[in-house]
């Protein structure tokens, strides 16, 4: 789960990371008021959307006074911002962050991520801040400093000092950097984060370190024990299909194809998507209904897949172990009855109670296409697409 910049800064500030004075605004008048609260001089107005590259896309501007702040805020609020990290439809701007301007002497990059190879939290840092980490890795890979944290000891002070020296900091800046690094590590560890990024972390002209931008993302599977983090979720920034699925406990990722997938098990879902591609089609989504799915859960999965207007065929592929094929078949029939499905549905069942499930499908009288193998199911789904798409 991603959160907004202002939410990430508020969290990091609680752990001890220095951030500029700032305020949240939901209207042009409120943005102007925030500017006056900061002294009425120069301030930075930032669109709050879940995406990087906001500055390049026109979502960040240095404004001179409350009048310019109000004018710029009026041009942003209620519009969508398209960046290199969003889809063509962009992200809607419903809130702004108004921040005091900083006198920048130098910009740094700092990120905490999970390194799956070492199974450790890794710090990635660079003396070139203000750029996306992907761009840094491509244009100046030698500038990236990597440091792995031992989970038994945590981030120890000598590591933090060593990293500070590698970034060219000196004097009191080293102590400030140690504070920032430890604060970020504690926030990452204590809140089940997946990423903490400060970009840029700036050295001001007076020598102080300040986080000018921040991003945090969290492990969705751990939100049950972090209700204060879950409360920061902004469904308006999410893919509406994924938001609908999340509200019903379904693992769903929206894609760009037209063949909707309802499958149990992540591995089988990935294999099914590969087979659809191999047969000449394109999956519209990844959806894992999980084990022990009731007919009602299957019906909700159909609702979620059908919320995507691009879907022209639905492929149901179930290998039942914990699950039961007769439950799945009942759910498919229930979905037909309740939702009035008007597009082709291909069903492949295997495993527990497979004969009972296939019998329910066969005796339903519904135009459901049955398949015995995954390859047959994928080929049938591709063949059932409308002629315009098949061409």
Which residues lie closer than 8 Å to 88 by C-beta, 6 or more apart? 82
Please give the annotated binding residues for substrate, written as ranges: 264
Q: In the annotation, is 109 catalytic?
A: yes
Binning the chain into helix, strand and coil, the percentages to the nearest 5 are 40, 25, 35
| Cα distances (angstroms) measured from residue 312 to each of 346, 361, 367 | 12, 20, 15
CA distance 48 to 117: 33
User: Active site residue: 100, 197, 238, 379, which one?
Assistant: 197
- Going by DSSP bridges, is the β-strand pair 259-263/313-320 parallel, antiparallel, or unpaired? parallel
| Cα distances (angstroms) measured from residue 75 to each of 1, 28, 295 | 28, 9, 48
Please give the annotated binding residues, written as ranges: 46, 53-55, 99, 102, 107, 199, 213, 264
- Going by DSSP bridges, is the β-strand pair 285-288/251-254 parallel, antiparallel, or unpaired? antiparallel
Query: Which parts of 220-266 are beta strand (E)?
Result: 251-254, 259-263
User: Active site residue: 5, 100, 109, 336, which one?
Assistant: 109
Instruction: Write the DSSP symbol of residue 119.
Output: T
Nearest 5°: phi and psi at 145?
A: -110, 130
Whole-angstrom Cα Rg for the chain: 25
Please give the annotated binding residues for Mg(2+), written as ranges: 199, 213
Q: In the annotation, is 197 catalytic?
A: yes
2 DSSP β-pair partners: 217
Query: Which parts of the chain are beta strand (E)?
Result: 22-25, 42-47, 60-64, 80-81, 91-92, 96-100, 104-115, 120-126, 145-149, 193-204, 209-211, 214-218, 251-254, 259-263, 285-288, 313-320, 345-351, 368-371
CA distance 316 to 289: 10
Report, as residue numbers or ranges, the catalytic residues.
Answer: 109, 197
């Amino acid at each position: 789960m991603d959160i907004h910049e202002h939410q990430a800064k508020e969290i990091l500030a609680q752990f001890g990371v220095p951030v500029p004075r700032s305020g949240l605004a939901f209207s042009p008048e409120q943005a102007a008021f925030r500017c006056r609260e900061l002294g009425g001089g120069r301030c930075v107005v930032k669109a709050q959307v879940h995406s990087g590259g906001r500055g390049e896309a026109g979502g960040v501007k240095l404004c001179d006074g409350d009048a310019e702040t109000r004018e710029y805020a009026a041009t942003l609020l209620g519009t969508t911002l398209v960046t290199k990290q969003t889809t063509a439809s962009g992200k809607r701007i419903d809130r702004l962050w108004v921040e005091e301007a900083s006198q920048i002497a130098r910009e740094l990059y700092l990120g905490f991520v999970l390194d799956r190879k070492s199974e450790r939290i890794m710090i990635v840092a660079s003396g070139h801040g203000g750029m996306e980490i992907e761009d840094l890795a491509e244009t100046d890979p030698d500038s990236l400093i990597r440091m792995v944290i031992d989970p038994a000891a945590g981030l120890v002070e000598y590591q933090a000092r060593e990293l500070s020296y590698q970034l060219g900091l000196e004097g009191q800046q080293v102590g400030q950097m140690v504070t920032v690094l430890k604060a970020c590590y504690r926030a990452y560890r204590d809140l089940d984060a997946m990423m903490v990024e400060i970009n840029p972390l700036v050295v001001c002209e007076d020598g102080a370190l300040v986080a000018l931008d921040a991003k945090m993302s969290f492990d969705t599977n751990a939100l049950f024990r972090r209700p204060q983090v879950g409360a920061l979720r902004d469904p308006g920034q999410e893919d509406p299909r994924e938001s609908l699925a999340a509200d019903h406990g379904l693992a769903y990722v929206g894609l760009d194809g037209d063949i909707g997938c309802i499958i149990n098990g992540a591995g089988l879902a990935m294999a099914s998507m590969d087979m659809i591609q191999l047969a000449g089609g394109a999956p519209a989504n990844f959806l894992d209904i999980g084990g022990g799915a009731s007919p009602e859960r299957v019906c909700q999965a159909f609702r979620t897949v059908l919320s995507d207007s691009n879907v022209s065929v639905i492929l149901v592929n179930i290998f039942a172990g914990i699950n039961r094929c007769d439950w799945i078949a009942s759910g498919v029939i229930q979905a037909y009855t309740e939702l009035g499905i008007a597009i082709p549905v291909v069903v492949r069942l295997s495993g527990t109670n497979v004969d009972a499930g296939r019998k329910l499908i066969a005796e339903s009288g519904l135009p459901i296409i049955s398949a015995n193998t995954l390859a047959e199911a994928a080929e049938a789904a591709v063949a059932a697409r409308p002629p315009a798409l098949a061409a």
